[in-house]
Amino acid sequence: MSCFTNSKLFLSVCLLTFLSQKSVAQDEKVSVSQDPKFEQLLNEKRKINSSITINDRYKIQIYNGDSEISKKTLTDFKRDNRTMDATIVFSTPRYKVWVGNFKTRIEAEKNLGDLKKNYPNAFLIKPNK
């Protein structure tokens, strides 16, 4: 009987070994195709995240008013100042165009002086979250 049990055990081990060799997980290479607009959207989101207001940063407000004029002001500003951040912030019932993301007040005031030439109503702000 011991011989029968040993041979049954041996066959079971052989069968399990054979099956484990054949039951391999997916070996196929996976290729993901994503819409090119996804990467563009992701880059826009990164830009937005980097320009989110932080309490210790200064900004310059160059416009406060209605939606259409704020959009035009933002577009004109971005066309003329490609290196400086700019965004529209809605604060009921007005739209505000904020530019820059300055670490120090001195840096912000220097830029404010330059911006006042084209935007005479511009002023320095330190927004809260």
Q: Report pLDDT digits (tens) over 17-30.
A: 766 665 555 567 77
Query: Which tokens go with 14?
Result: 């052989």
Structure tokens of 27?
A: 């070996």
pLDDT one-digit tens code per residue, 63-113 = 999 999 999 999 999 999 989 999 999 888 899 999 999 989 999 999 999
**Is there a contact between 61 and 123 (Cβ–Cβ < 8 Å)?**
yes
Residue 2, CB-side half-sphere exposure with 13 Å CA sphere: 0
Architecture field, domain 54-125? 2-Layer Sandwich (3.30)
Question: Which H or E element spans position 100?
Answer: strand 94-102
In the chain, how many H helices and how many E strands?
Answer: 4, 4
Share of the chain above pLDDT 90, in %: 46
Region for 100 from its dihedrals, namely left if φ exceeds 0, alpha if ψ lies in -120 to 50, beta otherwise: left
Q: So what's the pLDDT on residue 57? A: 87
Task: Assign 49 to helix, strand or coil.
Answer: helix
- Degrees, nearest 5: CA angle 35-36-38: 70
By the 8 A CB rule, do 101 and 85 touch? yes
Which residues of 80-127 form beta strands (DSSP E)? Answer: 86-91, 94-102, 123-125
